């Protein structure tokens, strides 16, 4: 079992460069299955979710080559074999293979997706969309099979999502780009990662319009060609490092940041009193003082991202007074609270909301990452704290933060990954 060990309280300064977006690349890799040629992705983060997706692609028959932060994917050898177990069950984003395999072969048999335990995350809206396009659902042991009649192509249709959902929006796009006719999807999510996936598909020859709005229209095509695509910067990683810089830094510049992807987050930092300078593709965060408590309520994009409320929590513990965090997306995104309390934080969960009082003086402790973003919160808290912090269950963290140990060491952190 591996652990992350931090000796906190060290001055952190310098620059850090944000990697490509995890939530884009986990969809972009399965999307390559739809191509009739080689797809090259640049800016791919070094995270375990990517390693798992590469393993899945290779087991299907794709040829994948990795060059530093680029992936060269040749999907022409992909075979539609049932995949009920293994890597499929290890990550949430494996459900994107449903859309891409349906789009290419008219059928897919895969195990149910895994990932962080954040409360109910059903895939019923994915299945509703696939069914509307002509796919039937059946179960074979622990696997789910989706198939059109006699492997025919899906057909275009009109789909309305009852709730805004990123996963179902992307999955429906993947399934629809080779469907017969036009597909119109209403009440879709608007996240930048959806635009990124649509950009890749259009560069391959798809006809996707409206990504970034609440209505997406797709005209099906017969063939998609290979292309080269630059993955957008990871806005959640960027927000995490900005929060870290404000909580524990003495002047840190965060590079490869798209401000327009973080407007709600930056606005909340300004409300807290964080001093920073926004540049064209970077944000410089000064050493902070006199921070104010705030109320945070997460919401679908362009609102405050659910993935950023946990990494921001350690900074909120430095504010003077009481504040509240309400996550309207994932009810169980509060598991970092008891772990931070082990470090001396004055916060609790009341009626599903996180209530915090500050300022707090944190001390090192043995804590456990319960999910990806909770792990980021514990790392930031460990860097702030006096003494030694040991974080276990770190596979969650390595799923989503590229080269995190090396990046933090470059800022002056005393942090290491050790075998327990």
Catalytic site residues?
116
> What are the angstrom distances between the C-alpha of 269 and each of 55, 167, 260, 266, 316?
39, 28, 15, 5, 10
Q: Report d(CA 316, CA 323) in Å as an integer.
A: 8
Helix (H), strand (E) at residue 227: strand 227-230
Question: Can you say how many angstroms the Cα of residue 75 is from the centroid of all Cα atoms in its chain?
Answer: 24
Task: State how far the Cα of 102 lies from the Cα of 151, in Å rounded to an integer.
Answer: 9
d(CA 330, CA 121): 8
Return d(Cα 209, Cα 186) in angstroms, integer: 12
- The two beta strands, 249-255 and 207-209, are unpaired
Helices within 291-330 (DSSP H only): 306-316
407 membership: H or E segment, kind and range: helix 404-410
Q: Please, what's the b/e burial string for 389-398 (b: 16 or more CB within 10 A of its CB; e: otherwise)?
A: bbbbbbebbb
Cα-flanking dihedrals φ and ψ of residue 248, to 5°?
-135, 5
Secondary structure E strands in 130-205? 136-140, 143-147, 158-160, 182-186
Classify residue 84 as exposed, middle or buried by CB count within 10 Å of its CB (0-12, 13-18, 19+). middle
């Amino acid at each position: 079992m591996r652990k992350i060990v931090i000796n906190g309280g060290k001055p952190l300064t310098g620059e850090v460069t944000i990697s490509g977006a995890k939530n884009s690349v986990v969809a972009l890799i399965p999307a390559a299955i739809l191509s009739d040629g080689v797809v090259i992705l640049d800016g791919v983060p070094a995270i375990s979710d990517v390693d798992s997706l590469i393993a899945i692609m290779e087991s299907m028959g794709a040829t994948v080559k990795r060059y530093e932060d680029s992936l060269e994917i040749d999907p022409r050898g992909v075979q539609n074999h049932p995949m009920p177990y293994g890597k499929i069950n290890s990550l949430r984003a494996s459900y994107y293979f449903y859309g891409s395999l349906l789009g290419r072969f008219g059928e897919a048999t895969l195990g149910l997706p895994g990932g962080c335990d954040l409360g109910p995350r059903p895939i019923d809206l994915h299945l509703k969309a696939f069914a509307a396009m002509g796919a039937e659902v059946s179960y074979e042991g622990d696997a789910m099979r989706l198939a059109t009649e006699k492997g025919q192509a899906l057909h275009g249709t009109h789909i309305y999502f009852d709730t805004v959902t990123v996963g179902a929006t992307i999955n429906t796009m993947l399934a629809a780009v080779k469907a017969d006719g036009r597909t119109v999807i209403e009440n879709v999510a608007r996240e930048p990662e959806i635009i990124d996936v649509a950009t890749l598909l259009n560069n391959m020859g798809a006809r996707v319009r409206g990504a970034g709005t609440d209505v997406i229209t797709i005209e099906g095509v017969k063939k998609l060609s290979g292309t080269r695509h630059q993955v957008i910067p990871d806005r959640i990683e960027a927000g995490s490092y900005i929060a870290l810089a404000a909580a524990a830094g003495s002047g840190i510049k965060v590079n490869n940041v798209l401000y327009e992807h973080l407007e709600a987050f930056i606005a909340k930092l300004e409300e807290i009193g964080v001093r920073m300078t926004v540049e064209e593709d970077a944000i410089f965060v000064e050493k902070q003082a006199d921070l104010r408590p705030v109320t945070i309520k997460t919401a679908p994009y362009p609102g405050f991202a659910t993935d950023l409320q946990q990494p921001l929590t350690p900074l909120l513990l430095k504010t003077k007074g009481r504040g509240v965090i309400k996550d309207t997306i994932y009810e169980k995104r509060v598991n970092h609270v008891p772990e931070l309390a082990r470090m001396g934080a004055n916060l609790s969960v009341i009626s599903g909301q996180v209530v915090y009082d500050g300022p707090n003086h944190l001390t090192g402790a043995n804590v456990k990452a319960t999910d990806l973003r909770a792990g980021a919160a514990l790392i930031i808290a460990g860097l702030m704290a006096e003494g030694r912090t040991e974080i276990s269950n770190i596979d969650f963290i390595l799923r989503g933060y590229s080269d995190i140990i090396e990046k933090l060491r470059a800022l002056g952190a005393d942090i290491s990954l050790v075998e327990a």
